[in-house]
Amino acid sequence: MEVSNPYLGYKILFEAMVKFSAGISAVKNIQELPFEINRHLKYLINFQEFQYFFVEDEDVDCLQVDQLGNARYSTCQLPQLEPIARQVLETGLPLSHYCEKSRVSTYCWKFESENNHFSLLCVSSHADSPFGDKSIPLVKVLNKLLSTRIENLKMVKLIHAQNRELAKLTGILQKKNAEIQALNNQQEAIIIEKTTRLRDSNSKLKTLIQFNSHQLREPLTRVISMVAIKDDLPVEEYVSDILPLLSASVVDLDHAILEVVKRSELFENEDN
């Protein structure tokens, strides 16, 4: 990118940098990042191919764009990187390489982040439109913007994953709580039912006892009275007035006993 007026040149560069920065800030996930780089990079540096590798442990995120407008995001493992990139990663020293045949120069830099990861930035350019030395300070700025954004996107992704996990756990917890609640309710219902049955049974038993006591005693007291009155009455009167009543009362007593037995059996059956 050559502009004759230096002021105009800086102005264009500044605006392009602002757009680049705003563009990548708006990107929602790492896969879209190469497309955003592709939109703005041509206003910042001369390149035939631009590669950015974000290295975290053994995992590498690869962002690639080329002059023809192709943009690509991929992931790979450290050993799969090109030899020149691996060499720069190992030594930490920038490298440049010129191919006579294709007239293509390749430059590669390694940057170290405070957060325990590295990045590699590789630019190749054709001799007809070379990557200028003046662009080198821009490489640092580009790296800073990209690595911060990638780190940020990864963090957001991690938070989302954790949130999902948390939501899942909350769901499980709620389900378990509901199960416990259901068990509690079931237990409570059983207890209430048992208590009600017991109360009902007690009340029936009380009624039965009262019934038995009265039903049996009433005809019995009549019989006792009639036996007791014998000595106080003339025999004729006793035979004519009382004796017929005595047999009726004895029959009543028998009925009462049968009724008491029937009710007791009924109660026993109901209670079981």
Partner 1 sequence: MWQLKDNYKHMKVFLIDDQKITNVLNRKYLSMIREDLEIFDFDDPELAMAALETERPELIFLDLNMPIVSGWDILTFMRKRKIEIPVIILTSSNSLQDREKANLFHNVFSFQLKPLTKNGFNDLLQGYYLLDDSSTARKKTG
Contact positions vs partner 1 (CB under 8 A)? 210, 213-214, 217-218, 220-222, 224-226, 228-229, 232-233, 241-242, 245, 248-249
Q: Which residues contact 76 (CB under 8 A, 6 or more apart)?
A: 60, 62
Report d(CA 112, CA 54) in Å as an integer: 10
Q: Which residues contact 211 (CB under 8 A, 6 or more apart)?
A: 260, 263
Min CB(213)–partner 1 separation in Å = 6
Tokens describing residue 48 = 């035939």
Min CB(248)–partner 1 separation in Å = 7
- Packing angle of the helix pair 136-228, 243-271 (nearest 10 deg): 170
Report d(CA 17, CA 40) in Å as an integer: 8
Min CB(177)–partner 1 separation in Å = 49
Nearer to partner 1, 64 or 249 (CB): 249
Nearer to partner 1, 166 or 224 (CB): 224
What is the phi/psi pair of residue 2, to 5°? -115, 120
Q: Give the Å distances, CA to CA, from 11 to 8, 14, 17, 43, 138.
A: 5, 5, 10, 11, 14
Min CB(264)–partner 1 separation in Å = 18
Nearer to partner 1, 200 or 237 (CB): 237
Min CB(239)–partner 1 separation in Å = 14
Min CB(223)–partner 1 separation in Å = 8
Nearer to partner 1, 104 or 216 (CB): 216
Nearer to partner 1, 74 or 213 (CB): 213
Nearer to partner 1, 76 or 248 (CB): 248
Min CB(217)–partner 1 separation in Å = 4
Q: Which residues contact 106 (CB under 8 A, 6 or more apart)?
A: 84, 95, 96, 97, 98, 99, 122, 123, 124
Tokens describing residue 182 = 């259901």
Nearer to partner 1, 17 or 216 (CB): 216
Tokens describing residue 146 = 């990209």
